[in-house]
Each structure stands twice: as structure tokens, then as C-alpha cells.
Amino acid sequence: MFEIANDRWFPVVNSVIAGGAAALWYLSSGKIGWPLLVAVLVPWIMHIAAGRFPFRRTRFDGWLLLFAATAVIGTFTAYDPEVAQGKLWVLIGAMALYFAVVSVSRQDVWLLAGGAGPVGTLLAIYFALSNDWQLWPSEIGMFNRLGTMWARLRPSFGLPVLHPNTLAGMMALLLPLMVAFGLFAWRKRNMHWLRLAIVTGLITAGGLFFTSSLGAWLALAVGFGLWLLWEASGRLQRKTPFSHTTIFATAVLVIVAVGPLLVFLAARAGLGQADASGRLFLARQTLFLIQDFALTGSGLATFPALYAQYIQVTPVFFAAYSNFFLDIWLEQGLVALVAMVVLISGCFWLLGRSGLSSAQSRRWRGEMMNSEDLILFRWGAFASLMVMALHGLIDNALYGSQGSPLLFFAPAMVVLVTRQSELETAVPVTRRLSRLGIGLGVTSVLLMGLFFGFRQQIEAQWYANLGALAQARVELVGWPTGKWDNGQNLERFAAAADLFEQALVLNPDNQTAHHRLGAIAMVAREYETAVWHLEQAEGQANSHRGVIKSLGYSYAWQGQYEQAAHYLTNLRETRAEMAIYVGWWRQQNRLDFAARAGEMVAILENKVLLNP
């Protein structure tokens, strides 16, 4: 047992096992569950039996533990615990892969980077065999035509359709490591590995290209651009009296200064303007959802339903995710967001501390790589981490929907390539405990100060938060239903309504409570009450799309058409919805509301004719 656990190839095999388990959890949406966990824990058990710690410790273990704890809590706060548990298994798989990767010997970094190629190729092939260009159309017309033609020719495998941006983000994350592996193979004159890198890299890059994911392309361009700029600065250093770092920093500052001008010119030309404004709007609306669940988080795998029900106000699917950081904040709370930000920023700090510049080439004892090779993989890890951070600002390939096994892959590679020696360990336990104690003490003082300074507001938001969770549990059962609520079984809202009322007793201006009580009153067809609450909410958040739309509809059902038109005219879907409501109200035997819906259709169409 001791010999196996200490064998050089044991960590590599462990990484394959962890990666395979994470992939199976991902493909099965976490339905396999415990059997795969047993497989993941076998290497840990063997380490313990050999008298070693189950995994290699790193300086980020405590933050990962916090992230995992909030994820477990997220399975209890989620409106659908079964779906939430499925996402939890995927997150566990991502953490298992992290601990497996950081345990690999530094001399085997090239194997992990080489393994990124086949994984990226599989992702590109999956995209080609599963993408629905009708459901997720490309932003480039030619790609749509080619994709539609290919969809008619390809065999049908019945594969789940993932959003192209999700697959694009994962492919972009892996590409820098493929490039580093290819350059490493070229240096070693290993043509077999070089051909593998070229073939897998081209397939992955082709798949990324046809996703037409502008965000992934830009994030990858920044990562590779900084890498190339550093290499170019090194060459210029030989011809100028300035240092490598000075030339690089000056070039970066020039690019940053020119960047806003390029963005302005692109906006004037209309390049990506609609997409950028749409993503910014999505992020702003997500912040309103975060406010509703500020103290607990909404639970794992809840964003799509919450956004559709309380922002878009529709019983059908609308958006898969907002962006990486906001989705973590919404579903797992502020603690999880802080843990992820510390992890990513800490990895950039490790790269800066360890150095990305070329050092004197030397070979370490018993290792096939020299220091130049390690610098190469550090840049690959840097570019991969840059993709994770920048792409996460506008998309969510690694956490959205059910998450991704690659969530912690880039940070794990950074930890591995910045390790100074195989004997390097994490920060000593005593020092970590002292830091933890100081951190907890400072945090406790700050939290106590906030609580006693804003006690009533915090208590009110606590009740509103609990009410929002209770409302989601009873209102989102079986989501998406594709049907509007007909007002039956109003008793199910009683517990949530009581919590919202308690919130308003403590803070009469609580926006969450007013919004949600207004929504409940709409289901009960008490539109006068709904208007009053929604007006209070609109006064606190006048750009909240869910509040605006609900208020407009409440005015419409009261017959106050001008007020309704004021709120509904700029919402594109309301004209079509009002036309459907004409027949829906008739089915409910409410001819008065059907007539009002018909009147609103005419008014909204007239508004469009006057203001095309």
C-alpha cells in the first residue's frame, strides 16, 4: 500500500479518476451520486493507510472549505433540493479534481497540459453533435446557415443541448494549456506529442470559433495577448536600455489607455453594442435578485427559475445564467463569492510572486523539465486563469446551470506550476489557525457593528429573505410550467406572506417584501392591493423589470390603461402576451378582464405605430 501511494504515477492516476468522476457527475446531472464519491475517496484512503495526509494541502484549502459549506447549505435553501443536489455533486467533482491536480508531481505538469487537448476536442465534438442552432442561434449569420445545414446531415444522438457560451468558456479555458504543451513538445523535439497538440488544438479552436462566443474569444485574446506581449518585451529588452518589466508595463499602460477609444469606436460602429447592453442589463437585474436573498443565498441551480418568475415575469425558461461572480453570489451568498475572489486573486499573486520571466535554465534533480519549461506552463496557466476571470464577467461557463467539472482546474494548475519545490507544503497549521482567528475576530467585529448600526433593516431583510425562499418553494414547483397561475390554492402563500408582513413592520420601505406581496396579490386578483405594494417597491427600485411589468399588468386589469401603457410599452413581449391573455381570461370565465386585455393590445400596438 505504501509503495503504491508513493509511486510517481499515483497522483496522475488519481487525477484521471477524479476527472472521470467529475465528468460522469456532470453528464448525469449528479444522478449517480455516492458510488462515484467512493471511487474518488479510494486514493485518499490509500494515502491515509500509508500514513500520509489524504491530499496535498494548499494555502487555499480553507477558502475551498467555505465554498463547499455554502454549497451544501445551498441544497437546503433551493426551491428544488433534488436539482440542487445534482449541482452539488458536480461542484464536489470539481473540488476533487482540484485536490488531485495539486498533488501531481511538478515534473508531470506537461501530462496534465497535454490531457487538456483531448478534453477540449471532446467538447468541440460534443458541440458539433448536439448544438441546436434554432434554440441557440449564432450571432454570425453564416455560422447559422452552416450549422442548420450540418444539423440536417448529422446523426441524432439525443444529447442534452448546452448553451454554446458554456462550451466555449470551457474550450477557451483549456486552449492556453494546449499551446503550452505544444511549445514544450517542440522544445523537446517530440513529434508525437507535437502532432497531438496541433490536432487537438485546431479542433478545439475550430469548435470555439463556431460557437461565435465573443466573450470567450476576447478573454482568450487578452490572455494570449499578454503572453505574447511579455515575449515581445523580452526581445526588445536586448535592443533598448530599459528592463523587461519596464517595457512590458509601459506597453500594457498604452493598451489600457487606448482601450476605451477602441471600445468607443466599436460602439459607434455597432459592434457588440446590443450584446453588451443586454449583458449589462442582465447583471443589473440579477443584483435585484441578490438583494432578495442577500443573507442566505437562493440555493443551488435556482437562477433560471428566479429570473424568469420575478424579473421576466413569465412561466417559461428565459436565461440560463447571468455572470460567473453574480451567480455565485446569488445562489451561495456573499461568503462563497469572497472565497472565489480570494482564490482567483490569490492565484494571480502566486504567479507574480513566483515569476513569469525567463530564468537561467537548470534541471532539477530527477525531473525532465528545466526552469524554462516551467515558465512556459506558468504562462499557460496564467492565460487560462485570465480566461476564467474575464469570461466570468460576462458569461458563466463554469458555474451556471449545473456547474462544471473544470471550475477549479485553472487555479489548481496555477498552484501546481508555482510550487517552488516538491517539498513545499502549505502554510503551517499554527500560522493558519492564528490567521483564521484574526480573520474571524475582525469579521465578527465588523458584523456586530453592522448589525447594531442597522439592526431593524437587517432583521427586516432577514424576514424578507426567508419569505422569498418560502415563496419560491411553493410557486416554482415543477418549473417551468408554461402556464400562468390561475389563482387556486392561495393558502400556499400564507407562510411567505406572514414573513413579508413582519419585514414591513420592522422596515416599511423593504423593497423585497413589497414586491413579493404585490406578486402574491396579483395571483389572488387583488389588483388594488397589488398596485399599492408594487408602487412602494418601484419607488425603491425604479429599474426593477419584474416590478415594472407587474405594476403595468396590475394597472391593466384595473382598467387604468394609460398608467399600464406607461410601464408596458417598452417591454417587447407584452403585446403578444396581452393577445394571449384575451383567450386565457375567457377560459377563466372573466370576460371583463378579457375585454381589458383586448383594449391593452390596441393601445400597445398604437404606441408602437406612433413610436416605431
Helix axis angle for 191-211 and 109-130, nearest 10°, is 40
Cβ–Cβ < 8 Å for 127, 207: yes
Query: Which grid coordinates are listed for 80?
Result: 428544488
Query: Residue 609: its pLDDT value, please?
Result: 47
Do the domain assignments include residue 583?
Answer: yes
Any alpha helices (H) in 476-506, and if so which ranges? 494-506
Element (DSSP H or E) covering residue 107: none
Measured in whole angstroms, the distance separating CA 418 from the mean position of its chain's CA atoms is 26
Is 264 within a domain?
A: no
Q: How many domains does the chain have?
A: 2
Angle between helices 455-475 and 429-453 (to 10 degrees): 100
Q: What is the largest CA-CA distance in the chain?
A: 86
CB 175 within 8 A of CB 201: yes
Sign of CA dihedral 284, 289, 294, 299: negative
> In a 3-state reduction of DSSP, which class is residue 105?
coil
Q: Which of 165, 192, 212 is the C-terminal boundary of a domain?
A: 212
Q: How far is Cα 438 from Cα 535, in angstroms, rounded to an integer?
A: 45
Pairwise CA distance, residues 223 & 386, whole Å: 6
Domain membership of residue 186 (yes or no) is yes
Where the chain has pLDDT below 50, the residues are 263-274, 360, 364-366, 609-610, 612
Nearest partner of 129 among 219, 41, 210, 29, judged by Cα = 210
Q: pTM to 2 decimals?
A: 0.90
Q: 363 pairs with which residues across the strands?
A: 370
433's grid cell: 489557525
CATH number at residue 588: 1.25.40.10
pLDDT at 270: 45
Rg of the chain (C-alpha set): 27
Tens of pLDDT, residue by residue over 147-182, are 778 777 787 777 788 888 899 999 999 999 999 999
The answer to whether residue 534 sits within a structural domain is yes
The C-alpha cell at 219 is: 478573454
Examine residue 220 and state whether it is found in any structural domain, yes or no.
no
Structural domain contains residue 135: yes
**According to the model, what pLDDT value does residue 10 have?**
78
What whole-number distance in Å separates Cα of residue 260 and Cα of residue 277?
A: 16
- Residue 417 burial by Cβ neighbours in a 10 Å radius (0-12, 13-18, 19+): buried
In whole angstroms, give the CA distance from residue 594 to residue 233. 70
Instruction: Write out the residue range of the structural domain in which residue 578 sits.
Output: 460-610
pLDDT for the residue numbered 392: 92
Residue 544 forms part of a structural domain = yes
Mapped onto helix, strand or coil, the DSSP state of residue 370 is strand
Q: Which of 212, 243, 271 finishes a domain?
A: 212
Residue ending a domain, among 212, 247, 274, is 212
Residue 533 lies in a domain: yes
C-alpha dist (Å) from residue 600 to 487, 519, 569, 576, 610: 22, 20, 10, 11, 15
